[in-house]
Copies of this chain bind each other. A is one copy, B any other.
Amino acid sequence: MDQVEFQIRRSVEQVEEGTDLAPKFGADGLLPCITTDAETGEVLMLGWMNSEALKRTIETGEAHYFSRARQVLWHKGATSGLVQKIVEARVDDDQDAIWLRVRVAGSGASCHVGYRSCFYRAAPVGEDAGKPLKFTEEQKTFDPNAIYGDSPNPTQL
């Protein structure tokens, strides 16, 4: 396993058209990461990565994020067993976002509420704009209380 070093961003051409990995983290040191099920294409979650999380993800082949709620590096699945194995990691044009295609261990869920995907509700659009959200998953895949116990809920108001 190599140690990953990021390249310095020198030009738009290098960043957009080159083969250097030269990610741009935001003012808070984080960039967004889209994680999809490699088989179904379903978006499972949107997480955040700092430099260390991105390096460990690339080096280990398992998704690591930075928890904004807990302000710590987070090896996804360390508590729940629902580890995300990387099938493919992609970077976007200006290298300020990551897309991970993963296979999830265990039940295949990625959402702390218990659903498979964090995106389990649809907002009606167009003529139906303003109507209540509709659930797209009917059943939870696990009981969050059984997995996380008394850990504080990461959702912040």
Contact = CB atoms under 8 A, between A and B. Distances in A.
Contacts of A24: 156-157
Contact of A58 (B40, B92, B118, B123): B123
A17 B155 CA distance: 12
B129 A59 contact: yes
Instruction: Give the oligomeric copy count.
Output: 2
A145 interface: no
Interface residues of A, number: 68
A8 B126 CA distance: 22
A136 B89 CA distance: 11
A43 interface: yes
Contact of A46 (B40, B61, B92): B92
A50 interface: no
A90 B46 contact: no
6 contacts: A3-B130, A43-B43, A58-B129, A61-B125, A89-B122, A91-B123
